[in-house]
Structure 1
């Protein structure tokens, strides 16, 4: 679809749409924050949003974007935080050693009130790849593991090995799925950078750079996620977050690394 150039123009409020025979969804950008460290991902809770950038995390007010606190993990050896999700006052961040090989990953856990690092779950050399995002739904962990193309391919495994893995709350694996070929092609040469379960029960995923959201759902049978829609969005890959504290609306936080902005958009159907 070559209408992006016509859609992405400088306006204060941009509405982006995708139509299929089965549904019509819209994404309307409602707010934008200028944040110099907006490079990797965004997480969100009732009052704050958290900008994640490799070794640092900023806590900012949802009201005016004012910085409340900052955590810096440089001295702790944290080099590549990929994304995060807030659950019951704790910020869970996906952490990896990207672009090193063999791939190793962990989940780093923070108290959102104090912004102190309080716990860790290490996968070590993760059999599924490089941990890029984490979410929780229906009492289970859902985790995205990436593989990359070209020189970043690990042990002969390219982007096709990227997967979604379901765990129980003790991180015991229960099931896993791969992405459909058309989505793998869109990820290539990078991979699946972000993911979050929407309040509508659909899974929203991003690649590394394209201004798109890939809407997925679990298949009724087999091992391949079902592609529901591709939504043009002012979110250029990287880690995303669904604001579940807002009732009656589905708000998604994302970012644009090129302009150092965090965007808030509403998804409607």
Structure 2
């Protein structure tokens, strides 16, 4: 039934590949600003010049303190990263904040009990938005499988305001894993990737909570993992090919609802 539901959804034109750049730390995700790339790999982040490809800064943390940074985003003057203790259980999550100029660690924000393992963080409409993954196998907790994957909106004190679950047709594509990457586009929609499929899910977010609605999917040149938008170039999305340690820039097609 899930495959039928997914087949009925709108599939947009494939994203256009703009560039490919090697980055040995590109195992979990990538963040970008107008001048630099930030490749993420669990306990380390490397900063690369976007024009020359030269590595200009490197953070390597203690794997005990930084067991699994999954994704990062340049938000304001900070590099904000989603961290967790994946695949350990019970799940624990935290937000790690860095200075993007030097990659020095600024602070840790413990999340406390949450509905999953933190995989992405973004900022929109004066709030923090965070994706919490759940898994069928490794890294999962008894009584919760991938269908418990959740989006949460927080205030500036990281108090939960609203919760959204994911539509069944998207959950079926992500199974047995979960949402690995997520970022809001300039159009206000949430763009999400799973763990290993080369596709991007475009989701609308109903006011006040509920179930996210699938607008459509976009074929992309990366196999899931964390993603980020280039805020200096509307419609340009960055992702990684972890198998070959590569950062890929892509131009997304226009997204229009039926």
* Deviation at residue 201 of structure 1 after TM alignment: 1.5
Alignment of 1:92-241 (within 5 A): 92-124=80-112, 126-219=113-206, 223-241=210-228
CA contact (8 A) 1:204 1:215 kept: yes
Alignment partner of 2:252: what SS? strand
Counterpart residue number, 1:261: 246
- Unpaired segments of 5 or more residues in structure 2? 1-6
CA contact (8 A) 1:20 1:229 kept: no
CA contact (8 A) 2:31 2:71 kept: yes
Rounded Cα–Cα distance in structure 1 between residues aligned with 2:180 and 2:141: 17
* Deviation at residue 155 of structure 1 after TM alignment: 2.6
Asked if residue 72 in structure 1 is aligned to residue 57 in structure 2, the reply is no
Distance of aligned partners of 1:76 and 1:22 in 2 relative to their CA distance in 1, 3 Å threshold:
closer
Give the length in aligned residue pairs: 248
* TM-score normalised by L of structure 1: 0.87
Q: Alpha-carbon deviations, 1:239-258, whole Å to 9, x = none? A: 10001122xx3110001111
Counterpart residue number, 1:88: 76
Regions of 4+ moved over 3 Å:
19-26
CA contact (8 A) 2:10 2:215 kept: no
Distance of aligned partners of 1:64 and 1:104 in 2 relative to their CA distance in 1, 3 Å threshold:
same
Rounded Cα–Cα distance in structure 1 between residues aligned with 2:97 and 2:48: 18
Asked if residue 252 in structure 1 is aligned to residue 240 in structure 2, the reply is no
Counterpart residue number, 2:21: 33
Q: Which has the higher contact order (CA 8 A, sep 6+)?
A: 2
* Deviation at residue 214 of structure 1 after TM alignment: 0.6
Rounded Cα–Cα distance in structure 2 between residues aligned with 1:53 and 1:103: 19
* Deviation at residue 62 of structure 1 after TM alignment: 1.3
Q: Alpha-carbon deviations, 1:77-113, whole Å to 9, x = none? A: 2111000111122101111000111000100100111
Alignment partner of 1:186: what SS? helix
